[in-house]
Structure 1
Amino acid sequence: MLSLPWKTFRILLMLLGGGTLLALLLFLAGNVWVLTSTSGRIETELAKCQPRQVGIIFGTSHWTRSGARNPHFEGRMRAAAGLIQERKVDHLLLSGDNSTRYYNEPITMWKDLLDRGVPESAMTLDYAGFSTFDTLIRARDVFTVQRALLVTQDWHLPRALFIADALGIEVQGCVAPTQPSDGTWRLRAREWLARVATLGDLYVWGREPHFLGPQEPLQITPRPDLSVAAPASEGDTARESEHDSSASTPQ
């Protein structure tokens, strides 16, 4: 006959095993939900990306830890410039992290795109895009974006599209081309975890953005051949978000 301590140990093992299995199933189910609900709105070829008045470009570091140019940054910039040149979008919202005076993703994107021939009037800088969630909720609540083309890598787009859907923004995804790199597998693996965390942000603990501020509707100069474009505000000068927190203003 089994002793009481052994019976207790077996029960604990069974509970632990059952809990682990349940967590694994929830993890897989969460990822499947995000991937299947967004897969039909991701275009892998730049020329086939659906026209939108606004393209949202997600920030990332210009350099890798090894000091090389970040291929993911390069891919996003190439896609953003191509969308403007191909008249797929009228305006780019460059949203990224500017948490310290030495790290400024929006300004870095802006300078790079200027070098690629993108006019200043076609860009607005958002310095408080500290995360995918923050970028999208600020796009909706600060910059009053209702429809947009999201531009980032294929492993990031499903989560970005899913968040936008939950926030009520009508979006399509356009894949930014990227050369393979040694660290990409880590980013893809981390994205599996991030998708599940996003479900918690949206439906469990009700995540709030780091900083919002008053509305600053985008000032867009519409292109006459962009037939799907909605009515835009008047103005033709490059803009920065004027009411960000001190941590997100340009340094």
Structure 2
Amino acid sequence: MKKYIKKTLKLVLIGMLIGGLSFGLINYHVTSFSDNYITSIENVPNSDAALVLGALVYKSGNVSPILSDRLDTGMEIYKNNKAQKLLLTGDHGRKDYDEVNAMKKYAMNKGAAEADIFMDHAGFSTYESLYRAKDVFGAKKIIIVTQKYHLPRAVYIARKLGIEAYGVPSDKHFYPKIKQYKVRESIARCKDYLLVNILKTKPKYLGEPIDLLGDGRVTEG
């Protein structure tokens, strides 16, 4: 019995070591791969669109600070003519919760032309947002906008899906929950590494192709 317990404990420890090593290697691989494509607004190559990843919107319809920073950075890219269009992607899976229309309203208040704003209503995750950017919107060359902790995973997914993607960080303020975000992000990197390299799962929703260089008003809803 003691031999059985020792053997079991040994196998558990080996499993934990392998799991921990894999976790660390995947995180290192994703971040080091993406570092080459993360840059400033001044240095980012001109692209078809700035893809702004969604985040929390309050019940009032106002965007959260982390999302307003993303949108402000996206607008800087747009106004500096680094991107012709804005692709705002987020969660609009329920009638009582709508990230993308709140994002559109914010961008228009900052001076974006309505025809230049595309909304992806089914961007329920980073992986789905990037998959749909290519499959639905035909994205070929984009600038991804989100905070530093999130950018490596987003750029990695996009590049592995075949999009020429660059990242511009949107860290304009201190975020009180940043440590929690970073812990969750390290786990999400492993999850999406498996999704994009092995499982290659399709998003919950796809749909008819939309020309990202056309009129964004076709995405109203």
Normalised-by-shorter TM-score class: over 0.9
Aligned residues: 220
Q: How much does 1:27 deviate?
A: 0.3
Greater Cα shift, 174-183 or 191-200: 174-183
RMSD: 1.9
Give the unaligned 5+ runs of structure 1. 221-236, 243-249
For 2:47, the equivalent position in structure 1 comes to 52
Please state whether the residue corresponding to 2:86 is helix, strand or coil: strand
Measure, in 1, the Cα distance between the counterparts of 2:23 and 2:213: 41
Tell me if 1:78 matches 2:78: no
Tell me if 1:61 matches 2:39: no
Please state whether the residue corresponding to 2:199 is helix, strand or coil: coil
Measure, in 1, the Cα distance between the counterparts of 2:41 and 2:212: 24
Among residues 193, 196, 199, which one is paired with 1:202 in the alignment? 196
Q: How much does 1:69 deviate?
A: 6.0
Would you identify which runs of 4 or more consecutive aligned residues in structure 1 move more than 4 Å?
Answer: none
Give the TM-score, by structure 1 length: 0.82
Comparing both structures, which one devotes a greater share of its residues to helix?
2
For 1:17, the equivalent position in structure 2 comes to 13
Tell me if 1:146 matches 2:140: yes
Confirm or deny: 8 A CA contact 2:161 2:196 kept in the other structure.
no
Among residues 69, 78, 87, which one is paired with 1:93 in the alignment? 87
Confirm or deny: 8 A CA contact 1:126 1:240 kept in the other structure.
no
For 1:129, the equivalent position in structure 2 comes to 123
Measure, in 1, the Cα distance between the counterparts of 2:161 and 2:177: 31
Please state whether the residue corresponding to 1:42 is helix, strand or coil: coil
Confirm or deny: 8 A CA contact 2:47 2:83 kept in the other structure.
yes
- Letter of the 2:133 partner, please give it: A
Deviation sequence 1:11-49 (CA, Å, 0-9, x none) = 111111111000000000110110111111111x33333
Would the alpha carbon gap of residues 15 and 238 (structure 1) be closer, same or farther in structure 2, given more than 3 Å must change? closer
Please state whether the residue corresponding to 1:41 is helix, strand or coil: coil
For 1:224, the equivalent position in structure 2 comes to none
Please state whether the residue corresponding to 1:130 is helix, strand or coil: coil
Among residues 162, 177, 181, which one is paired with 2:175 in the alignment? 181
Measure, in 2, the Cα distance between the counterparts of 1:204 and 1:219: 31
State the structure with more CA Rg: 1
Q: How much does 1:178 deviate?
A: 3.1
Greater Cα shift, 26-35 or 201-210: 201-210
Give the unaligned 5+ runs of structure 2. none
Measure, in 2, the Cα distance between the counterparts of 1:71 and 1:46: 20
Give the TM-score, by structure 2 length: 0.93
Among residues 164, 175, 199, which one is paired with 1:170 in the alignment? 164
For 1:8, the equivalent position in structure 2 comes to 4
Measure, in 1, the Cα distance between the counterparts of 2:199 and 2:8: 29
